[in-house]
Amino acid sequence: MFQRLSTDTLNWILIIGVILFVIEIAFFHGGMIVSALFSGFFIYIGWKNFTKLWGKIFFWLGLISLVFSILNMLAVRFLIIAAIVLFLVNYSKSKQEAEKINPELPGTNEVNEPPAVQRKPLFDHKVFGDQHTTETAYQWRDVNIHGAFGDRVIDLSNTVLPNDTAVISIRHLVGNITIYVPYEVEVSIHHSSVFGRVHILGNHHGKLMNQSLFYQTQLYDTAVSRVKIVTSVLSGDIEVKRI
């Protein structure tokens, strides 16, 4: 359905959704947003203590409350209605437009391009729970993930990095990020956080509030094998250290 929409249409839907989101904050004292934040906090506390009975109760109550809070937001209601309307409009157009098939005959100007090979990434997107690399040797793949709750641990000492720039990109809500880097590898770290502490290659920041930090080793620009790390968290600590 979304493939048939123009970029302008999608942009207008997003703009209206953002406007409704701002209206809910400005004129309804936060509306269901405050309730959603409290629900997220309950989910986090419950997940951290999920082995206990009260932790399970906190988690499920928070999850149910979060679902209802999100569904009651003005912006979310608008997006649901817009999605239903767009689905009906596109379905109506698809019934009216007959599919036209143009057979292609073999020609002399065809380019035989090798097919792209799909490979399994190191991490999948995970909303809840911790993630870490294996303790045994593994083949390197660039990391590009986002999550909600839990810790992320990446150990680069158990893999062979390419003679190029290895990329680690992590976008996270609540949780800690730990990255172990071999001594012979040059590193660039760009980290942003709303709340949290930072420990990067011996540099420490006790409190980071809505700030961004950038660190780079001296030989990074000329190194053959190097790692580029880009992370952003809402609340959590980051630690990048040698191993």
Summarised one tens digit per residue, pLDDT across range 59-117 is 888 888 888 888 887 778 888 888 788 777 776 766 665 555 555 655 545 556 677 77
With respect to residue 118, please indicate whether it lies within any of the assigned structural domains: no
Residue 64, token pair as written in the block? 């149910």
On whether the CB atoms of residues 173 and 148 are closer than 8 A, the answer is yes
> Residue 105: inside a domain, yes or no?
no
Residue range(s) defining the domain that contains residue 219:
131-242
Among the ranges 88-97, 102-111, 135-144, 193-202, which has the highest mean pLDDT value? 193-202
Instruction: Tell me: do 141 and 235 sit in the same domain.
Output: yes
Residue 60 sits in the same domain as residue 141: no
Judge whether 103 lies within some domain. no
- Has residue 122 been placed in a domain? no
198 located within any domain = yes
Q: Positive or negative, the Cα torsion across 16, 18, 24, 27? A: negative
Q: Which secondary structure element, helix H or strand E, spans residue 212, and what is its range?
A: strand 203-216
User: Which residues fall within 8 angstroms of residue 3, CB to CB, at 6 or more apart?
Assistant: none
Q: CB within 8 A of 197, min separation 6: which ones?
A: 204, 205, 206, 207, 208, 237, 238
- Same domain for 92 and 135, yes or no, is no
What's the chain's Rg over C-alpha atoms? 23
Is a pLDDT exceeding 90 seen at residue 162? no
Beta bridge partners of 149: 174
Strands (E) across 110-176 are located at 131-132, 143-149, 152-155, 165-174
Q: Are residues 91 and 148 in the same domain?
A: no
Domain count of the chain?
2
Does 217 lie in the same domain as 159? yes
> Domain check: are 72 and 147 in the same one?
no
Note whether residue 138 is domain-resident.
Answer: yes
